[in-house]
Amino acid sequence: MDLDDTLIALADDTRRTILGRLAAGEARVTEVAAPFGISLNSVSKHIRLLERAGLVRRRIAGRDHFLSLEPKPFDELTQWMAKTRDFWSSRLNALEAALRAEDAIKAAAKSSKRTVKRKRK
């Protein structure tokens, strides 16, 4: 599934921070790696994962690799979430309505019993 790659890519704080940095504009791998207390190599791996998810594009210029943010997969995920949320809401609302209806029936049954009792009295 395509969503998997996007979700996996976002499910890590380091990677989310990298994306935030790239939102401010292109940056080289070393620049991106600088703020983190981890090895350049680890950051390189995170970047590869982000590329796999299509969230980051790489432009190679000489020995420098310039990275930039590609928000499309993010937007696609957002759409999927909106759709899913709507679906869930409708189902959950239907459930609630069903429960309310059930309660109403029970209440009606109770009150009619009460009425009957009163009538008997």
Partner DNA sequence: GACATATTCATCCTTTTGGGTGAATATAGG
Partner DNA sequence: CCTATATTCACCCAAAAGGATGAATATGTC
* Sites of contact with its own copies (CB under 8 A): 1, 3-4, 7-8, 10-13, 16, 19-20, 23-25, 69, 71, 74-75, 77-78, 81-82, 84-85, 87-89, 91-92, 95
Angle at 16 between CA 13 and CA 18, to 5 degrees: 110
Helix (H) or strand (E) holding 43: helix 40-52
The answer to whether residue 91 forms part of the interface with DNA (CB under 7 A) is no
The answer to whether residue 117 forms part of the interface with DNA (CB under 7 A) is no
Residue 111's region, left for phi above 0, alpha for psi from -120 to 50, else beta, is alpha
Helix (H) or strand (E) holding 27: strand 27-28
**Residue of the chain from 21, 54, 57, 65 that contacts DNA (CB under 7 A):** 65
How far apart CA 92 and CA 106 sit, in angstroms, is 21
Nearer to its own copies, 98 or 108 (CB): 98
The entry of DNA, its own copies, none near residue 25 (CB within 5 to 8 angstroms by kind) is its own copies
CB 50 within 8 Å of CB 68: no
Nearer to DNA, 64 or 102 (CB): 64
Q: Which residues bind DNA (CB under 7 A)?
A: 8, 11-12, 14, 28-31, 37-42, 44-49, 58, 61-66
